[in-house]
Amino acid sequence: MSRLAPQPGRNTPAPPGLSRAFGLSRGSVALSGEAFEEPNWRSEGMGRKEPLLEEMVILLGPLLLVFMLGLGLAPLSLAKDEDRYTHFLTQHYDAKPKGRDGRYCESIMKQRGLTRPCKEVNTFIHGTRNDIKAICNDKNGEPYNNFRRSKSPFQITTCKHKGGSNRPPCGYRATAGFRTIAVACENGLPVHFDESFIITSQ
């Protein structure tokens, strides 16, 4: 009887590289006395990965997840700081004040939503937005404890509650001045007014 030649696609042993790629194991079949490698499809399956690839997926998978989460959360935190900056401007920025006296304070404190209940002290800065923002970098600011102090003075009006009930209508006294100020910054944006300083040498 003549020896049967191995038929491609039937009992032909897979080339070594291919067997590795598809996870073929060493099942063998005897055909006319000749032993042929046969894939062990059932026990290991087509989807088996390279051990090295598997290790990389296990090691890098969580890292990739943290990276993706970071990418997703960074814009959220920036958006939050933008909101706090907008809130800061509402509470503390008035480019063109009228009067800078008690009536001014009573009207602007109400207008900016700071009278429910009456806020005890609140300062309005009358500079440009860019000069105020620049306190958070070296252009117009320097470290001051946990805050930043402005290098240049600003026209400011501080409104102080006259006392009594903290329910509206709220009565205020005004103090107008030209002072350096301290603010808290987050991501390069002012988010809280801390205090103002009387300029002693000028």
Give the shortest CB-126-to-ligand C2P separation in angstroms.
14
**Is 175 an interacting residue with respect to ligand C2P (CB under 6 A)?**
no
Q: Which is nearer to ligand C2P, 115 or 158 (CB)?
A: 158
Provide the CA 172 distance to its chain's centre, in angstroms.
38
CB of 38 or CB of 147, closer to ligand C2P: 147
Nearest 5°: CA angle at 38, between 32 and 41? 145
Catalytic-residue membership of 92: yes
- The residues, any chain, with a CB within 8 Å of residue 172's CB and separated by 6 or more, are 102, 105, 106, 109, 159, 160, 161, 162
By CB under 6 A, name the one of 115, 140, 180, 196 that touches ligand C2P: 196
In whole angstroms, how close is the CB of 196 to ligand C2P at the nearest point?
5
Our CB check for ligand C2P shows the closer of 24 and 159 to be 159
- The reply on whether position 195 binds ligand C2P by CB under 6 A is yes
Q: Which of residues 100-139 bind ligand C2P (CB under 6 A)?
A: 121-123
Contact 16, 41 (CB under 8 A): no
| Alpha-carbon radius of gyration of the chain | 37
Question: In degrees rounded to 5, what are phi and psi of residue 110?
Answer: -70, -45
User: Residue 91 interacts with ligand C2P (CB under 6 A)?
Assistant: yes
Q: Examine residue 192 and tell whether it contacts ligand C2P (CB under 6 A).
A: yes
**Applying CB under 6 A, which part among 31-39, 66-74, 104-112, 193-201 lies near ligand C2P?**
193-201
- Print burial letters for 137-164: b (CB count within 10 Å at least 16), e (below 16): eeebbeebeebbbbeebbebbbbbbeee
Residue with tokens 């800078």, as numbered in its chain: 100
The set of catalytic residues is 92, 192
